[in-house]
Amino acid sequence: MIAKFLREHDADFIILHGSSKNANFYYATKFKTSDPITYIAGIDGSDILLVPEMEKRRAERESRVKEVVSLNDLGYMERLKEIKDAKKAYLDILVSVLKEGRCRKLLLPEELPTYISFELMKHFQVEVVKNPFTQLRMIKSSSEIEKIRDTSNAVLRCVKWVVENFNFKTCEELRRAVELKLFSEGYLAENTIASSGKATSDPHEIGRGRIENHVVLDIFPRSVDHLYHSDFTRTIFLGKNPELEEMYEAVVDAQENAVGMIRDGVDARDVHQRVKDVLNGYGFKTEKGEGFIHSTGHGIGLEVHEEPRIGELSVELKKGMVVTVEPGLYYSEIGGVRVEDTVVVREKDCEVLTPFEKFLRL
């Protein structure tokens, strides 16, 4: 696929520079590293990973890259002594590698560090492109789906534990409990939303202070082991609130309609429109920044938010995509509610990876 992308752009190589914190870099290399390193893929199907000497053996064992070369193999230390500038010595090595590969034209992803881009522009014809790995990541392999399923199961175990042991008094206490529970099982959850009261009218308010009569609990952890995420939200009622319960009934109905539509070949925009139609049918209008004020969903994998989006733009959903379905309603004088599940697009339907009771009253 990358070779085809290079041919389409009449280029010889594409270069990525990053660590496994960068989803595209990890997807391309399958190598976990905390320090930025460089990956180069060629039109002939070749690829190379440039690493510090201390990482060479591990990269040879763990990465999916055909050739691993240490900077020392390429004379980095000698050039460092001569140039006396670590970045300049590194760039000198990088340019030499590309020239040795007879590079004529080079593709630079938009996120490539500026200091690297400027130096490469001095030596080669370059074109700045959207990272092609972003598109490749949209359709998940069976092994990727199983990794997302694994994280989803961890979320379900955690939520079940929360429901069975709910004696939390503050949003902070609930958030810490959720994140510690997941971390104890090998999953990292950060900025978990545990929001209550009128603050829930802000979809991304993480929650502060005392828990009132409902909580929006939005959990989106990743595995520490395989790095894949899941995403899940339920609105938990701790007392009676007719207005919020009516809103929640509407979003659950809207979500069920959306999930019922999702399959291979469906336009994501049509799914989003169905959600809006259902909510409008309940009388919940969206205007002046209140109501249903975000998209219906997004892709999920190595990042919490990735392509495709289920929103206003036309995007064909394809078998193997993993997306969230998360309608919500938000009114500043009342509060907000949301329900969310992670689903896999199948040929004739979709599979919900986070099946859990929708209506939770404690």
Using CA atoms, how far apart are residues 83 and 79, in angstroms rounded to an integer? 6
- Domain 142-361, what fold? Creatine Amidinohydrolase (3.90.230)
Using CA atoms, how far apart are residues 111 and 103, in angstroms rounded to an integer? 21
Both tokens assigned to 5: 């992308």
- What does the pLDDT read at residue 278? 98
Q: Which of 318, 359, 360, 352 is nearest to 152 (CA)?
A: 352
The answer to whether the beta carbons of residues 307 and 137 sit under 8 Å apart is yes
Q: Which of 236, 231, 271, 266 is nearest to 254 (CA)?
A: 271
Give tens-digit pLDDT for 235-253: 999 989 999 999 999 999 9
- What does the pLDDT read at residue 340? 98
What's the first-to-final CA gap in the chain, in angstroms? Answer: 50
The answer to whether the beta carbons of residues 249 and 358 sit under 8 Å apart is no
Residue 271: pLDDT band (50, 70, 90) is very high
**C-alpha pair distances (Å), 63 with each of 20, 38, 56, 68:** 11, 13, 10, 9
**C-alpha pair distances (Å), 148 with each of 9, 268, 308:** 33, 21, 16
Q: Which of 215, 220, 240, 222 is nearest to 163 (CA)?
A: 215
Q: Could you identify the residue written with the tokens 């078998």?
A: 319
Name the DSSP letter for residue 72. G
- What does the pLDDT read at residue 76? 92
Residue 53: pLDDT band (50, 70, 90) is very high
- What does the pLDDT read at residue 192? 98
Using CA atoms, how far apart are residues 333 and 62, in angstroms rounded to an integer? 53
Give tens-digit pLDDT for 103-133: 999 999 999 999 999 999 999 999 999 999 9
Q: What is the CATH number of domain 2-136?
A: 3.40.350.10
CATH 3.90.230.10 domain position(s) in the chain: 142-361
Name the DSSP letter for residue 73. G
Name the DSSP letter for residue 330. E
CATH 3.40.350.10 domain position(s) in the chain: 2-136
